[in-house]
A and B are shown apart, each in its own frame.
Chain A
Amino acid sequence: MPAEQSAPHVVQMRGITIRFPGVLALDRVDFTLRAGEVHSLMGENGAGKSTLIKALTGVYTIDGGTIEVSGEQRSFGSTADAQGAGISTVYQEVNLCANLTVGENVMLGHESRRGGAIDWRTTHSRASQHLANLGLDIDPRTALASHSIAIQQLVAISRAMVLESSVLILDEPTSSLDRGEVEQLFAVIRGLRDRGVAILFVSHFLDQVYEISDRITVLRNGQLVGEYGIDELPRDALVTAMIGRELDDLTALGTSAHREINRSGAPVVRAMGIGKRGVLEPADLEVFEGEVVGIAGLLGSGRTELVRLLYGADKPDAGSIFVKGEAAHLRTPRHAIERGISFSSEDRRAEGIIADLTVAENIMLGVQARKGWLHKVKAAERDELVAQYIEALGVRPANPGALAGNLSGGNQQKVLLARWLAMAPDLLVLDEPTRGIDVGAKADIQRKVSELSQKGLSVVFISSELEEVLRIAQRIAVMRDRHKIGEVAASDVNVDGLIDYIANAGEGSAA
């Protein structure tokens, strides 16, 4: 049940602004947390969720606005400050010390002492007490690492209770738990809520958000969209609020949705029931020659996980993959590349562009790697290839000798695209190729992808922007909660239809 409007405001954040160099990460965001409620903070990647949490936990200092905790204005310089004010956080990766015992992790920094020395007997029995309060019957003297992640997470919550926290922040706590473990965690969360603890819950799993929350606050692009009671916000309204609508400068590009694809031959790639325990439930995917298959779904729905399995970056523990009708064992990305599959990662800074190399060197990396390092690509051949792609993709500045690190995000993305295209793949997998880049570069990339697919290149295209997916793809695979929930033909749906599908398909509760 939603907490009463009159429940005391434990946390009141007003007009929170945080700037990073060149980015306004949070723009005058208000956020209120009441005693005895579970409040979900929702938003896509880059919306500002984690920035807001870090402002509240003292990891970041705020550039504007005020934070009141239990009626007192506060400014936090460190996590210790925030903990002192009764705010505890349990992170996605359990932030405990695996080398210590369960009891120590619960009590660290708060051990019972007698005459200046830690009294381990009392400390451990207090730890047992706190663990028992959450229904955990484990020996506090066992090593933390001997327990499952789910238990470790509950140990982290026990620790928060030692600090007598009035606010508990759970940041993606369920991402590595199975169903039974989630139930156990939720039982604990409900227990704490009933004792008056204010709980801030972050999860990508919509089902879980609706199961546990009393209230939802939605952020988008660093701004507050709104605060809603759980009953006021149906799923499709939530998805719309999170994704928003972009004023479309790109409609001019037209759409490839109606292009006919010849699906009579063997697919370029066919994945049958590929999955990995705890990462992705078994899913099928086929991509035919000249086809663009979009993958739609919220962040964390399993989009990236699916293509990583397809590409050999992660190892599936179920299912099989066929390339042009032949069974293929893609154990590493190298195998995939040998079979004509290229993958452009969503994290272009960490996994793509090498900032200290020139544009030409970045483009040639893939080709050179494929030839082997001992067979140097001839200079003339290299210059021609590089010039061709700089021209075709409109890389600015059009200077092969410029350092890649000095290019804008959009142009870096074009360089990456050029790298994969230069290898002449049969299938190109693009994970969020247009995220965080300007509209012009976006249009260039979309145009190029459409053009190449018409010439026979097969593409798997992941994007959080549904308009984009609808415009480029002929077929769209829809993911939710690490599960492929279905496929739609791009010509059959519009943005609203797709949102409805993402939010409600298979739920039997379509709004």
Chain B
Amino acid sequence: MTAAVTTTKDGTAASTAGRAGTFMARRSALLPALAAVIILALLFAGAELFLRGDFITPRNLSALLLDNAYLLVLAVGMTFVILTSGIDLSVGSVMAFTGILGARLLAEGLPPAIAIPAMLIGGAAIGLVIGLLVQVFSVQPFIASLAGLFLARGLAFVVSLSSIKVEDSATLWLQTTRLRLGDWYITPTGIIALLAVAVAAFVLHYTRFGRTIYAVGGQEQSARLMGLNVARAKVMAYVISGFCGGLAGLILTAYSGAGYPRNGIGTELDAIAAVVIGGTLLSGGRGYVLGSMVGVFVYGTIKTIITFMGAEQSWMQIIVGTLLLVFIVIQRVIVARSGQKSP
């Protein structure tokens, strides 16, 4: 045994032998996210075999990011909220509202320098309302964000009842520009989504605010007694999620070239599914934003495979549902095995 570190005095971790034991004691929360990576690899391998080498191509993998960029951004925001052991059901509607708002403002002749900030601020504002309801008025996150869902959807229809085409070249540039490297390509929307992941990972792991988010999700009462600013962290999680809703609205509008008030119905549930598959525990305090990214790719890959096979779209829901069930059970088992408090 070459364990470089003495672990506990009570010997529990020390007796589990060597590096694996140390790893478990240090990073058991990583395991659900690793499981998601394994699932993604299996999906890739399976599709590759089934489609006789036609699946893992630079074109397909590039498209995987671009087609799911809006969902990735929503999942990033959702990760913050779920880490605090909350939930945000409003994001699909927020994406629709900010998308149609932006399209309308551009159609009215306002420059993107005004329209785009308006979308982001609009999303963040709805997040702020939900956060204040949750924190100040102690409303259940489920109910508060359900109210946000209806509010945002209603606002979307107030802005326009039908789809509005976007003619603004700067906005369309976000999607039409293709930066190529061989057969690989990426658009500014894809870059934005990856940037969102990178910034979120930095904030969560390298700032006090990020660590407070984890502490709140672990044991809120303890976090408060430790003198951390729990109220700010919780409200900010919803503001970030709302802001990400606005950003997703921008990406989706650029992607589809139009705003549409019926966009994103049920997308909040896709985002939640992706976050959970990516290894973030619904009970809060454990998970990684990179895991959520893997979760989005798992989700997107299943969708692509179904399309390739020409199967019914309902299979998509059956597979995602099954995966969710399996993952929740896996997480339970992992959490119980590693001797952590059960969520």
A positions within 8 Å CB-CB of B: 78-80, 83-84, 89, 91, 95-101, 104, 108-109, 111, 113, 116-118, 136-139, 141-143, 145-148, 151, 159, 163
Contact = CB atoms under 8 A, between A and B. Distances in A.
A118 B207 contact: yes
Contacts of B202: 117
A95 B224 CA distance: 9
Given A95-B225, A142-B25, A104 B8 contact: no
B341 interface: yes
Given A108-B228, A109-B226, A111-B208, A146 B25 contact: yes
Contacts, number: 119
Interface in B326-343: 338-341
Interface string B9-39: 1101100000000100110110000000000
A146 B22 CA distance: 11
A139 B225 contact: no
A137 B8 CA distance: 8
- Please list the 9 inter-chain residue pairs (A to B) with the smallest Cβ-Cβ separation, ordered nearest first: A99-B218, A97-B218, A99-B285, A80-B227, A117-B206, A95-B222, A139-B5, A142-B25, A83-B227
Contact of B215 (A100, A148, A159): A100
Among B13, B202, B206, B224, which residue has the most Cβ atoms of chain A within 10 A?
A: B206
Among A104, A109, A137, which residue has the most Cβ atoms of chain B within 10 A?
A: A109
Given A99-B340, A139-B7, 7 more contacts: A78-B227, A80-B227, A80-B228, A99-B29, A142-B7, A146-B338, A163-B227
A148 B8 contact: yes
A100 B8 contact: no
A80 B229 CA distance: 8
B226 A159 contact: yes
The SS class assigned to the A binding surface is: loop
B5 to A, nearest CB: 4
A97 B9 contact: no
A162 B176 CA distance: 53
Contact of A97 (B6, B10, B219): B219
B340 A141 contact: no
A180 to B, nearest CB: 10
Given A97-B219, A100-B214, A117-B207, A142 B286 contact: no
A116 B202 CA distance: 11
B215 A108 contact: yes
Nearest to B6: A137
B218 A98 contact: yes
A148 B226 CA distance: 20
Contacts of A95: 219, 221-222, 225-226
Interface of B: 5-10, 12-13, 22, 25-26, 28-29, 202, 205-208, 211-212, 214-215, 217-219, 221-229, 285-286, 338-341
A343 B146 CA distance: 44
Contact of B219 (A80, A98, A111, A163): A98
Contacts of B340: 98-99, 143, 145
Among B12, B212, B218, B286, which residue has the most Cβ atoms of chain A within 10 A?
A: B218
Given A79-B227, A108-B228, A147 B10 contact: yes
Contacts of B218: 97-100
A143 B28 contact: yes
A148 B11 CA distance: 10
A163 B214 CA distance: 21
A89 B224 CA distance: 12
B219 A109 contact: no
16 contacts: A79-B224, A91-B225, A97-B215, A99-B218, A99-B219, A108-B211, A117-B207, A118-B208, A138-B7, A138-B8, A141-B26, A145-B341, A146-B25, A146-B339, A148-B8, A151-B9
Contacts of B214: 97, 99-100
Contacts of B6: 137-139
Contact of A148 (B10, B25, B338): B10
A371 B228 CA distance: 52
Nearest to B210: A118
A173 B218 CA distance: 21
B211 A99 contact: no
Contact of B212 (A109, A146, A163): A109
Contacts of B215: 97, 100, 108
B256 to A, nearest CB: 37
A109 to B, nearest CB: 5
A231 B207 CA distance: 51
B207 A147 contact: no
B6 to A, nearest CB: 6
A89 B212 CA distance: 19
